Structure 1
Amino acid sequence: MPDPFASGGPMLLAGTANRPLAQEIARYLDYPLGEVTIKKFSDGEIFVRIDENVRGRDLFIIQSTTAPGDNIIELLLLIDAARRASAARIHAVVPYFGYARQDRKDQPRVAIGAKLMANMIHSAGADRLLSVDFHQHQIQGFFDIPVDHLYASPVFTRYFREKRLTNLVVISPDVGSAKMARGFAKRLDATMGIIDKRRPQANVAEVMNVIGEVEGKDCLLSDDMIDTAGTMAEAAHALKALGAQDIYACATHALLSGPAVERLSKAPFKEIVVTDTVPVPQEKRFPGLTVISVGELLGRAIRYTHSNESVSSLFE
């Protein structure tokens, strides 16, 4: 069978948001990243140029939309440059899709940022989006182009299976993450619990109750992201107060903003496992934090997409 990544096949490009992950994807596929020039004018305006011929190519642009907003602009400019250079298909590979928490109008005079991001990616010229663990699944419906919504759960499941944990309880830190926790519990042959949480304002979490039996058991807190870590830290303290043994946590997107590192360092975790959808700089790393890669997962999804195979088979 001919190699679908031979000459004339797809091309991988990357912005500056997460070059190490893009390089990991390229290593897995044994295919080089295409050459691009990204620089800023003296006033901060971003200039993007694709330095290779992309005419008629299947193009995959790898760029997370983390802060600052320059990362979003880079993605849009790369898509626009590819469209104007006559790429055959343009796939936006967005490991972390930012603004996903602004997914509804839950108070007067607020923007629905997730829909705006979807509109801009579509308008720039993307033909498809690949992303990992949206904050809310309904965001797929915000796009007018096909969306491949990938899950980091196989990566986490493989990691925790190797630990051979017994008597494990998978804990959802809130009702919104219950489906993710249920999936982990099933794959890890564990029971499940839920944190009953009240959030008085954004980035402020108050744990109210723990639903489920945790005394004398190992616990695994699972969530899609860790931002300021208020939820995770309070949940860990609540579980420990109820007699839990070793407490682990896993989250796909390690934003780790504000007091997150301090909170997690002081919380009674044995280990916190995150992925590299968002780069974790050295100054935010601490004992007990483990970063695992989704490069292979995204690489396989890219290969399946280019070959018109089922991406959902990755999770069967």
Structure 2
Amino acid sequence: MKSVLFPLPGNEAFAASVSKAMSCELGELETRLFPDGESYVRLLTPVKDREVTLLCTLHKPDDKLIRLYLAASTARELGARSVGLVAPYLAYMRQDSHFKTGEGAASMHMARFLSASFDWLVTVDPHLHRHHSLDEIYSIPTRVVQSAPMIAAWIKQNVSRPVIVGPDAESEQWALKVARDVGCPHSILQKTRHGDRDVEVTAPQTGGWENMTPVIIDDIASTGKTMIAAIQHLRAAGLPAPVCIAVHGVFADGAVADMQAAGAGRIVTCNTIGHATNDISVEEAVASAAAEVMPQLSFAA
């Protein structure tokens, strides 16, 4: 019997593309809130003896996680053979240590929660800084989709004479991979963070870049302050308006407008979080990763 993929609300378009790339049925579920604010979840597509996948990007996760948990638990209760999670954006990965007294490492707490709820996980470029891999904190099989090949393909098609700029040391893992795939030079800036919205970066060595287009690449654009600091230094050096690419466009209120006001040229994101800047699609790679980890999944011809 075919496996079935259920998109949580807001994930329908991404799920439709993934299901098309896989030999699985696109399932339907109903969610709503009771008058007292509690969540209601009903699976409208049968799941008994089937491999079930739930698809939900975990941007602004706190109002999504309870519905995700209820959907997974309901699938098991109704006889699903296994229940997996595709989370194009995986939340709670940045709080990966104890930065202040009394804090917890939320990345590990979330990993335990999701590992207890699902049999496997597929995500796109999680924020791995102090954790070297998801296997360090997740107890279920995981697959990580690398966005670098898709980003590099987009740059080759859309940017003339690019030079890749990573705005901080954490971005080097993406910037270096993309630069290698594109076959162009790259530079990594040094960042000092004074607060959530207060970031300082050093200027790169820009000699020889006069006829090149800077492309700033980072995994997450939230407040945009890291990219804004990089944009300002590049413009001050007399370089053209940089293209800004983020794997995950979290974008706090006003972030895109602030980046544009700072002198950004085009702002582009992968479609892990739905946004007007989405121009790099990752569904096919996500489908391939799910095929690797999901039991008894046959890939569409």
Alignment TM-score > 0.5, same fold: yes
267, 270, 280: which one aligns with 2:265: 270
Match 2:34 to one of 30, 41, 57: 41
Supply the distance in 2 between the matched residues of 1:210 and 1:16 (Cα, whole angstroms).
Answer: 43
Shift of 1:228: 0.9
Q: CA deviation at 1:213?
A: 4.2
Structure 2 unaligned runs (5+)? none
The corresponding residue for 1:159 is: 154
1:128 alignment partner, one of 117, 120, 130: 120
Check conservation: 1:271, 1:290, Cα contact below 8 A.
no
Aligned residues, how many?
A: 294
Contact kept in structure 2, 1:214 and 1:243, CA below 8 Å: no
Aligned to 1:110: 103
Give the equivalent residue in structure 1 for 2:219: 224
Runs (4 or more) in structure 1 with deviation over 3 Å come to 27-32, 211-215, 303-309
Q: CA deviation at 1:163?
A: 2.7
Query: Out of 49, 54, 62, which is 1:56 matched to?
Result: 49
Contact 1:95 1:131 in 2 (8 A): yes
Aligned partner of 1:177 among 167, 171, 175? 171
Q: Determine helix, strand or coil for the equivalent of 1:11.
A: strand
Question: What's the CA shift for 1:200?
Answer: 0.5
1:17–1:65: 8 Å Cα contact kept in structure 2? no
Deviation at 1:73, TM superposition (A): 1.3
In structure 1, how many angstroms separate the alpha carbons of the residues matched to 2:285 and 2:86? 12
Q: Which residue of 1 aligns with 2:185?
A: 191
Instruction: Confirm or deny that 1:86 pairs with 2:79.
Output: yes
**CA 1:214 to 1:61, structure 2 compared with 1: closer, same or farther past 3 Å?**
farther
Task: Kindly state the Cα deviation for residue 40 of structure 1 after the two structures are TM-superposed.
Answer: 0.9
What is aligned with 1:20?
Answer: 13
Single out whichever of 8-17 and 224-233 deviates more from structure 2: 8-17
SS of match in other structure, 1:69: helix
* Structure-2 residue corresponding to 1:4: none
Tell me how far apart the structure 2 counterparts of residues 111 and 305 of structure 1 sit (CA, whole Å).
Answer: 30
8 Å contact kept, 1:226–1:255? yes
Distance of 1:308 and 1:176 partners within structure 2: 37
Query: 2:198, 2:23 → 1: CA distance?
Result: 44
Question: Relative to structure 2, which stretch is displaced further, 36-45 or 18-27?
Answer: 18-27
- SS, match of residue 73 in structure 1: helix
Flag the 1:246–1:56 CA change in 2: closer, same or farther, 3 A: same
Answering whether residue 287 of structure 2 is matched by residue 295 of structure 1, we say: no
- Whole-angstrom distance in 1 between the partners of 2:188 and 2:99: 24
The residue identity in structure 2 corresponding to 1:202 is: D
Normalised to the residue count of structure 2, the TM-score between the two structures is 0.90
Tell me how large the CA RMSD over aligned residues is. 2.2
Give the superposition deviation at 1:20: 2.1
| SS of equivalent to 2:203 | strand
> Unaligned 5+ residue runs, structure 1?
1-7, 310-316
Q: Please give the alpha-carbon distance, in whole angstroms, between the structure 2 residues aligned to 1:106 and 1:271.
A: 34
Shift in Å, 1:93? 0.5
TM-score, normalized by length of structure 1? 0.86
| Structure 1 equivalent of residue 238 of structure 2 | 243
**CA 210–35 in structure 1, closer or farther in 2 if over 3 Å, else same:** same
Distance 1:214 1:134 in 2: 34
SS at match of 2:92: coil
Aligned match of 2:248:
253
Q: Distance in 2 between matches of 1:143 and 1:249?
A: 31
**Counterparts of 2:85 and 2:207 in 1: how far apart (Å)?**
43
Q: CA deviation at 1:27?
A: 3.4
Q: Is the 8 A contact 1:64 1:71 kept in 2?
A: no
Classify 1:148/1:68 alpha carbon distance in 2 versus 1 (closer, same or farther; 3 Å).
closer
